[in-house]
Amino acid sequence: MRSSTQTTVHQTARELSPSNQQATADAAPPNEPPAETAAETAKSRFRLRAADKWIRCAAANRERGMSTAEYAVGTIAACAFAALLFKVVSSPEVQEMLTALIDRALKTNNE
């Protein structure tokens, strides 16, 4: 499936193609000079090649930016979870529970 940008570039490429230019030149009355000079034709071919190269590159690298966006969202989620965990662990109730747990595990209590 082509995006609208690709479709527009393909339409432009078709308009610049030598076969389309030949059809335009054939349609001109016989007494008038050709519509394009050799330099203009070379420019048109260059544009056609550049558009074709851009389309190939865009199609090959279509998913390239997605991984960067996914990493950014994952980093933000990890930071939010770390902030929430810090708030919970730094509360006095949780600190007392953790201290009691560590004391019991190390048997530092003299009972």
The H helix count followed by the E strand count for the chain is 5, 0
Task: Give the Cβ contact number of residue 2 at 10 Å.
Answer: 11
Encode the chain (111 residues) as per-residue pLDDT tens digits.
Answer: 555 555 555 565 556 555 555 555 555 556 665 566 777 788 888 888 888 888 887 777 666 666 778 889 999 999 999 999 999 999 999 999 999 999 888 986 565
Model pTM score = 0.35
CA count, 13 A, side-chain hemisphere, 83:
6
Calpha distance 84→77 (Å, rounded): 11
102 φ, ψ (degrees, to nearest 5): -70, -40
For residue 7, give every residue at least 6 positions away whose Cβ sits within 8 Å of its Cβ, in sequence order, or none.
Answer: none
